[in-house]
């Protein structure tokens, strides 16, 4: 009997918590394992590393010791340099291993990435579950991958790109990694997903531009996952990765009804992302009844010109009322501001700081703009005189309105404000 194809999915996570695990890897394994052919012909393992705790040499050592036939690497702006280094070392120690990359850092520039990084063999573009499963099916059958939609790959001295794969319409065809036992819920690092896509198209965000259509996991599946966590005594807090938790009143009410069993057991939900303009006192009561203890929101900027440039939804008076409702209702509010958005300058950024400070949220989170591959803001960079670092995480360097020196000064101001605000809040 022929031996199984060994597959290793390796994640290099940004979270410093050693218990953190990649939900994306769980999805990939669950989908592949459910395939009649791939499930029988492959042995798929997952491993999670920490980008701040494990250096590339340690990761390469583990992979080389495992000797997988196929290695899958999830690439993001926070780990792409390390993933390149890891792949380079693995290519030398395991020359016959097929190295596959996926993720938002490589999908929009697949051919360019393969040209510049000869250690990689295949790029899985976009949503990866169905594509990766079909890729494994072709690998185990030793057939050509030229018909596998959604991949770019190396073929001798040539780099080829197959047609795009349509988005997965029925998300329940991706088995739950929790309900199948592939992932075990863990304290504070368990994340659930109830839908994919985003109705908003913020210029700095990859998801809204590339996945605008909303697709939902079934209520039955989401409820089963929540009940599984509710019954786990080792988990007291968890969260959701939905880009908008209060998508609409109907969706919010349905979620809160499902979450009551979890909240009744004393479990809490930390930091769900909300559209604050849609929040009122009733919304706050629903969130609290569901077990939510904190929310994260914008405004990212309050400058009308910058808001227009990034296509951001922001209604000032509704935003103020929403933050006040959450704050006064007992929810901790995390307000985000992005530094270096096109149309902003040093003084408009200062005005945004003043606006947020006056709202008295629980925490103010500052971040410098990442000009990510596949985003509208990167496509339109020349329109705004936007210069950015080619190296990940692609920080903005300057714009027509915000000089390099002023952005660096604004970063120092933001760090000072965040420190002082946390000290007194």
CATH of the domain at 374: 3.20.20.70
Rounded to an integer, what distance in angstroms lies between the CA atom of residue 223 and that of residue 246? 17
Q: Is residue 172 part of a domain?
A: no
Residue 314 shares a structural domain with residue 386: yes
Give the integer Cα–Cα distance in Å for 44 and 183. 13
| Within a domain: 170 | no
Q: Are residues 237 and 280 in the same domain?
A: yes
- Looking at the fold, whether 157 and 190 belong to one and the same domain comes out as no
Those residues whose C-beta lies under 8 Å from the C-beta of residue 420, and which sit 6 or more positions away, are: none
In a domain, 167, yes or no: no
Q: Domain ends where: 98, 129, 161?
A: 161
Residues 6+ apart with CB under 8 A from 4: 41, 42, 43
The three-state secondary structure class of 199 is coil
Q: What is the pLDDT of residue 74?
A: 97
DSSP letter (8 states) at residue 370: B
Claim to verify: residue 107 and residue 194 sit in the same structural domain: no
Domain interval for residue 103:
5-161
Within-domain flag for 174: no
Cα–Cα distance measured from residue 48 to residue 350, given in angstroms and rounded to the nearest whole number: 39
- 286 and 377 belong to one structural domain: yes
Q: Say if CB 95 and CB 123 are below 8 A apart.
A: no
Say yes or no: 33 and 116 in one domain.
yes
Last residue of a domain, one of 125, 145, 161: 161
pTM over 0.85: yes
143 with 236, same domain: the answer is no
Contact 60, 93 (CB under 8 A): yes
Domain membership flag for residue 218: yes
Q: Based on the domain organization, do 136 and 76 belong to the same domain?
A: yes
Beta-strand ranges (E) seen in 42-201 are 42-50, 70-74, 98-102, 122-124, 151-155, 158-161, 191-192, 195-196
- Do 204 and 113 belong together in one domain? no
**Do 269 and 232 share a structural domain?**
yes
Question: Do 201 and 132 reside in the same domain of the chain?
Answer: no
Q: Is residue 98, in this structure, part of any structural domain at all?
A: yes
Number of domains making up the chain: 2
Q: How far apart are CA 408 and CA 333, in angstroms?
A: 27
Place of tokens 């809204």: 208
Alpha carbon separation from 308 to 203, 303, 304, 313, 338 (Å, rounded): 10, 9, 6, 9, 15
Residue 281 included in any domain: yes
Let me know whether 193 and 128 are in one domain.
Answer: no
Residue-level pLDDT, tens digit, the chain, 425 residues: 568 999 999 999 987 677 789 999 999 999 999 999 999 999 999 999 998 888 999 999 999 999 999 999 999 999 999 999 999 999 999 999 999 999 999 999 999 999 999 999 999 999 999 999 999 999 999 999 999 999 999 999 999 999 999 999 999 999 999 999 999 999 989 999 999 999 999 999 998 888 889 999 999 999 999 999 999 999 999 999 999 999 999 999 999 999 999 999 999 999 999 999 999 999 999 999 999 999 999 999 999 999 999 999 999 999 999 999 999 999 999 999 999 999 999 999 999 999 999 999 999 999 999 999 999 999 999 999 999 999 999 999 999 999 999 999 999 999 999 999 987 76
Is 79 a member of any domain?
A: yes
Helix extents (H) in 315-403: 316-328, 346-359, 376-379
Provide the CATH number for the domain around residue 39.
3.40.50.280
């Amino acid at each position: 009997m022929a031996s199984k194809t060994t597959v290793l999915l390796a994640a290099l996570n940004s979270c410093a918590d050693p218990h953190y695990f990649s939900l994306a890897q769980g999805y990939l394994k669950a989908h592949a394992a459910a395939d009649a052919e791939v499930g029988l012909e492959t042995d798929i393992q997952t491993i999670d590393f920490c980008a701040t705790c494990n250096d590339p040499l340690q990761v390469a050592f583990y992979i080389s010791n495992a000797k997988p036939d196929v290695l899958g690497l999830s690439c993001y702006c926070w780990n792409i340099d390390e993933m390149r280094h890891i792949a380079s070392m693995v290519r030398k120690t395991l020359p016959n291993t097929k190295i596959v990359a996926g993720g938002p850092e490589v999908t929009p520039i697949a051919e360019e990435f393969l040209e510049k990084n000869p250690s990689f063999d295949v790029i899985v573009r976009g949503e990866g579950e169905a594509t990766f499963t079909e890729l494994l099916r072709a690998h185990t059958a030793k057939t050509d991958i030229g018909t596998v939609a959604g991949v770019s790959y190396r073929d001798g001295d040539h780099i080829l790109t197959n047609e795009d794969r349509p988005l997965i319409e029925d998300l329940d065809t991706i088995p739950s990694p929790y309900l199948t036992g592939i992932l075990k819920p863990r304290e504070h690092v368990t994340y659930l997903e109830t839908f994919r896509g985003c109705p908003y198209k913020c210029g700095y965000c990859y998801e809204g531009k590339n996945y605008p259509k909303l697709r939902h996991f079934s209520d039955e599946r989401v409820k089963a996952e929540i009940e599984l966590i509710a019954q786990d005594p080792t988990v007291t807090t968890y969260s959701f990765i939905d880009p908008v938790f209060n998508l609409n009143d109907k969706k919010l009410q349905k979620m809160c009804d499902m979450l009551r069993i979890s909240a009744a057991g004393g479990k809490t939900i930390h930091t769900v992302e909300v559209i604050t303009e849609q929040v009122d006192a009733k919304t706050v009561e629903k969130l609290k009844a569901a077990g939510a203890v904190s929310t994260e929101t914008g405004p990212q900027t309050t400058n009308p010109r910058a808001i227009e440039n990034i296509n951001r939804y922001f209604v000032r008076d509704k935003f103020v009322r929403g933050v006040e409702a959450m704050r006064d209702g007992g929810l901790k509010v995390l307000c985000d501001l992005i530094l270096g958005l096109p149309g902003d300058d040093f003084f408009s950024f200062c005005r945004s700081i003043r606006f947020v400070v006056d709202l008295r949220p629980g925490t103010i989170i500052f971040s410098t703009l990442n000009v990510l591959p596949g985003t509208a803001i990167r496509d339109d960079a020349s329109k705004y005189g936007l210069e950015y670092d080619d190296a990940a995480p692609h920080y903005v360097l300057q714009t027509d309105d915000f000089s390099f020196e002023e952005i660096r000064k604004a970063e120092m101001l933001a760090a000072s404000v965040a420190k002082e605000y946390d000290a007194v809040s």
